[in-house]
Amino acid sequence: MQSKILFSKGLSNIDIEIEVFYGDAYLIGLADSKELEDKLVELAKSTDGVRKIYTYLRIKKPEYPCDSLKILANLKQNLFKDSIVEGTNVRVSIVGCDVVFSGVVDNIEQEKHAIWYAKHIDGVADVYSFIKVIK
């Protein structure tokens, strides 16, 4: 799916993260327009092996009232220090000033801890989780 996007006109330099877990595709990030967002979803739908598509796509704004790199660094530091969260299984995306989680964990407590940390970082506007709990 990533190579389809890379070689599609107008989609090669967008700020989108693409992940696939167990046949579910996740499109997370910022698109320049609604048309590009729709094109991304159509490409995902036409990809072999993709059963379901989840999106957290927003239209880019010229600027945001937060420091996304600072949010990301702070959150990753907290996740790796936490004794409950397996930091390598929880993926973090910053979309504007929102934190979006994805990944696969083996218990709900890991997701709860990640969300708690995100909600307590200055500058975070909203928190959304696509984390799958698989035992």
Write the DSSP assignment of the chain as a string of letters. -HHHHHTSTTTTT-EEEEEEETTEEEEEEEESSHHHHHHHHHHHHTSTT--EEEEEEEE--S--SS-HHHHHHHHHHHHHH-SSS-TTTEEEEEETTEEEEEEEESSHHHHHHHHHHHHTSTT--EEEE-PEE--
Residue 97 above 90 pLDDT? yes
123: left (phi over 0), alpha (psi -120 to 50) or beta: left
pLDDT, position 14: 61
pLDDT tens by residue, 12-67: 546 889 888 889 999 999 998 899 889 889 988 998 899 999 999 999 999 999 99
Which two structure tokens, joined as six digits, stand for 128?
Answer: 């959304």
pTM of this prediction?
0.88
Q: Residue 86: which pLDDT band, with cuts at 50, 70 and 90?
A: confident
Average pLDDT, the chain: 89
Residue 77 above 50 pLDDT? yes
Give CA–CA dist 127/77, Å, rounded: 17
pLDDT, position 1: 53
pLDDT, position 113: 96
pLDDT, position 7: 47
State what percent of residues in the chain have pLDDT above 90. 68
